[in-house]
Amino acid sequence: MRLVTWNINSVRLRIDLVLKVADRLKPDILCLQETKTPDEFFPVEPLTSAGFSHHHFAGMKGYNGVAIFSKIPLDDRQTHQRCGKNDMRHISAKVKAKTGAFELHNIYVPAGGDEPDPVANEKFRHKLDFVDELAKWFPKERSAKAPMVAVGDFNIAPLENDVWDHKKMLKVVSHTPIEVEKFKRFYEGVDWVDGVRHFVPEDKKLYSWWSYRAADWDTSDRGRRLDHIWVTQKLKPALQKQQILRDVRGWTQPSDHVPVVLDLKEA
């Protein structure tokens, strides 16, 4: 079973790229973040025509938005409000896979603005509160023994080699010590397994995002690993392989994120 997560940065603008990736990778489940469209305008038909017969999404005009499109039946679709906001950043569904059902969470953590000061920057405060809430919610509402997958743009690069320069990035939102600390609590809350780093040693550079601001993103290679796929311990034996599609960043009118892929063995 192949699972893909991608911050698409406007699904209506980039639906052709979504279909291109779907055709290339042949995923069973496709999760998108930052879809930036109200539900009534979501381009459902092209994706259902591509074989994704089952879906669950929640969006809003111009901002945020998350979506799950699946070739495998979905059940118990839920939309979760975080920090008292109905800003379409967390949805979940039960996936009826051949290996047995598991719960899939698609999450878009707030970016946090530019200033890493929770007092001066409300966006940064919201980000910290959001991650804190996730860290508390999963252990309280879900069992660590249950089969679960969490994917999405978590907007935090936790490890030294998840950023292009660890020392220079310590004061940059996405890699500050306070974000990394809260990220760790979230990660340890139900004993998650990092599905990508499971295959890639921590001493190896690994990115999924390159800024639009870079004149030549490929040459400068100042990337960050902001996009993640986690599984609970129950699914760890099913982990098969991972991919990060770096070349997609070089396509015409790309997202600043690229697709992240995880393959799970089926029984």
Q: Which of 233, 228, 222, 231 is nearest to 256 (CA)?
A: 222
CA distance linking residue 208 with residue 259, whole number of Å: 7
Q: Taking the domains of the chain in order of start, what are their residue ranges?
A: 2-264
- List of residues 6+ apart from 182 with CB closer than 8 A: 128, 131, 132, 135
The tokens describing 207, both together, are 């990115």
- List of residues 6+ apart from 210 with CB closer than 8 A: 217, 218, 221, 222, 223, 249, 256
Q: What integer pLDDT is reported at residue 215 of this predicted model? A: 83
Q: What integer pLDDT is reported at residue 267 of this predicted model? A: 59
Q: Please determine, for residue 214, whether its predicted confidence score (pLDDT) is greater than 90.
A: no
The tokens describing 76, both together, are 């118990």
Tell me the pLDDT tens digit for each residue of 113-165: 999 999 999 999 999 999 999 999 999 999 999 999 999 999 999 999 999 99
The third-level CATH classification (topology) of the domain covering 2-264 is Deoxyribonuclease I; Chain A (3.60.10)
Q: Which of 41, 37, 92, 39 is nearest to 70 (CA)?
A: 92
CA distance linking residue 61 with residue 249, whole number of Å: 25
Sheet containing 100-108: give its strands across: 74-79, 90-97, 100-108, 148-153, 227-231, 193-194
Amino acid letter, residue 54: H
Tell me the pLDDT tens digit for each residue of 231-243: 999 999 999 999 9
- In percent, how much of the chain has pLDDT > 70? 99
Q: Show the 3-state SS of 103-125.
A: EEEEEECCCCCCCCCCCCCHHHH
Amino acid letter, residue 15: I
Tell me the pLDDT tens digit for each residue of 64-84: 999 999 999 999 999 999 999
Q: What is the mean pLDDT of residues 93-108?
A: 92
Give the CA angle between residues 13, 17, 18 to the nearest 5°: 95
CA distance linking residue 7 with residue 248, whole number of Å: 12
Q: Please determine, for residue 100, whether its predicted confidence score (pLDDT) is greater than 90.
A: no
Question: Which pTM was predicted?
Answer: 0.98
- List of residues 6+ apart from 198 with CB closer than 8 A: 236, 239, 242
The pair phi, psi for residue 130, each rounded to 5°, is -60, -45
Is-contact 121 139, C-beta < 8 A?
A: no
- The average confidence (pLDDT) of the chain is 97
Q: What integer pLDDT is reported at residue 99 of this predicted model? A: 67
Tell me the pLDDT tens digit for each residue of 180-200: 999 999 999 999 999 999 999
- Predicted confidence band of residue 98 (pLDDT cuts 50, 70, 90): confident
Residue given tokens 């490929």 in the structure block:
218
The tokens describing 51, both together, are 């074989």
Q: What is the mean pLDDT of residues 18-26?
A: 98
CA distance linking residue 27 with residue 10, whole number of Å: 20
